[in-house]
Amino acid sequence: MVMSRYLKPSAAWVTEWWKNSCQASSVWRLTRLYTSLLLLVVGILLVVLYQLSVGQISRNQSTQMNHLALQQKLLAEELNQSDFIRQFELQAGSSRQYILSLITTDNVYGQLNSVPKNISSCPDTARFPIWLDRYDEIRLISGCSQVLPQGTMVIATDDESLYDLQHQFISASLIALLLALLLGISTGLLFSHRVLKRINTFNSIAQRVEAGEMTARVPVSNKADEYDHMALHINTMLSRLEDSFHAIAGVTDAIAHDLRTPLGHLRQQIEQGLIDAHNSGSDTQNLEQMLSRLDAILFTFKAMLELTRLEQKQQSSSFKDVDLQIVINDAADLILPVIEDNQQHLTVSGKAGCVVTGDATLLFRAVYNLLENASKYAGEHTQIGVEITDHGFIICDSGPGIPDNEKDKVFQRLYRIEESRSIAGFGIGLPLVRAIVRLHDAQISLQDNHPGLKVVVNFNTAEQ
């Protein structure tokens, strides 16, 4: 019971770890490569060491044994029975390293009293047990048998210590390989993690920049290694990018700002001209057209300046709880005449009670802009719907929609879709909406309504 209680979380931990290590594939790949290289090196070392030590000795031993067997065979062919047996006994008596025995049909010469069973014939050797009377113990020796005209000859050598050495070598090798494996995995993971940690900081900074935080910079350590060089280069690049952004925004702002005053003066003059023309009774149509166009230009400049202000603005402490229902109802009421003019139909649905923290005026602007866009671009006899969801609102229409490749671009300043150029507008509405949405820490996305466009705005649920 106690075991199973601990088993479950530990199993979960192991699977979690395994999943993570598989996902962080570069760490795992590096570790695997490193570990297998380490194992290979250790393995090669061990094999070479074995061949030069134990392998060498055992090879020498079997060569010598085979030499001896061959020699005796030749002698058996050359010498007669008694001469051969005499030299054999001499050889058996003098050899300390080899155990020699000759078993004939009626006698036994040498050290062993019988031919061991399941012995192989030379040059193949086999291990068999013998009993040592002197030490009262069993000993495992290896040797082979050779059939001679005189009888069966057994040549063997006591290689028990060599055999033990071999076993010790193998077990030591296995332990060494296991240690190398553990060491490889642990150090590999450690090193790879350290490398990856720095790469991950680059990734997270890149993500922050992507999200619009142009001031984010990669931290630079004092090691002055390749990563630091890369960080410095990326930081320089980011600084340049930020400067360019500021410059572009600054230029448009400066133009808008600087032209506002002369254009204001121009408007006053036109108004004056209009009054004069009115008084003198001449034609005012031309002047009225000029005035309305000038007003449109001034409106665009105002909107551009406001957009810049909004983009630079931080989330303000003046934010209050705002009921989205009220904001949307207000905006719908205001836009209703326009929609009816365009012979469109507006429905507002969804439940009440979606409260967000924000600026009611700005949110109203955003909703109004979106509804205005819908009305402007959807065309006549279309449906426009507003739905309040749990986390925000959705505005959809049944118009032509926006192609997928344009969906990102419409948020850029002054961008206009080719097909909509015939409709009056400056490409400021959607950027303004996005600036407001961002200010509220919310997300805006454009989706297909099949047919038409669906604008989904989601506020951060944590703020509710």
Partner 1 sequence: MKFTKLICAALAITSFSAVADDDALTVLALKRASFSLEQAVEKVTNDYQGQIIEFEVDDHDGQSSYEIEVINLQKEEKYKLQLSMADGAVLEEKSRSLSTLGFSRLDDDEYLALKELETSQFSLPAAIAQLREQYKAELVEFELENEKGITFYKFKLMDQQGRKRVIVDVETGEMIPIMKH
State the chain's maximal CA–CA distance in angstroms: 161
Q: Using CB under 8 A, which of 116, 273, 350, 379 touches partner 1?
A: 116
Q: Is residue 158 packed enough to be buried (19+ CB in 10 Å), middle (13-18) or exposed (0-12)?
A: middle
Cis omega before residue 403 (within 30°)?
Answer: no
Regarding 118 and contact with partner 1 (CB under 8 A), the answer is yes
Q: Which of residues 152-181 bind partner 1 (CB under 8 A)?
A: 154
C-alpha to C-alpha distance for 72 and 87, rounded to whole angstroms: 9
Q: Using the 8-state DSSP alphabet, how is residue 120 labeled?
A: P
**Which residue number, 99 or 378, has a Cβ lying nearer to partner 1?**
99
Say whether 290 sits in a helix, a strand or coil: helix
Q: What is the crossing angle of helices 160-210 and 25-52, to 10°?
A: 160
Q: Using CB under 8 A, which of 61, 87, 95, 111 touches partner 1?
A: 111
Regarding 112 and contact with partner 1 (CB under 8 A), the answer is yes
Q: In the complex, what is the shortest distance from the CB of residue 162 to partner 1, in angstroms, rounded to a whole number? A: 15
Say whether 175 sits in a helix, a strand or coil: helix
Regarding 117 and contact with partner 1 (CB under 8 A), the answer is yes
**Stretch touching partner 1 by CB under 8 A, among 124-132, 190-198, 224-232, 366-374:** 124-132
**Stretch touching partner 1 by CB under 8 A, among 21-29, 35-43, 106-114, 450-458:** 106-114
Q: Which of residues 324-353 bind partner 1 (CB under 8 A)?
A: none
Binding track, positions 132-151, relative to partner 1; x by CB under 8 A: xxx--xxxx-----------
Residues that contact partner 1, how many (by CB under 8 A): 22
Q: In the complex, what is the shortest distance from the CB of residue 16 to partner 1, in angstroms, rounded to a whole number? A: 40
Pick the closest to residue 157 from 52, 53, 66 (CA basis): 66
Regarding 115 and contact with partner 1 (CB under 8 A), the answer is yes
| Residue 37, number of CB atoms within 10 A of its CB | 12
Regarding 129 and contact with partner 1 (CB under 8 A), the answer is yes
**Stretch touching partner 1 by CB under 8 A, among 123-131, 195-203, 220-228, 240-248:** 123-131
**CA dihedral (267, 273, 276, 278) positive or negative:** negative
C-alpha to C-alpha distance for 463 and 440, rounded to whole angstroms: 10
List contacts with partner 1 (CB under 8 A).
99, 101, 111-118, 128-134, 137-140, 154
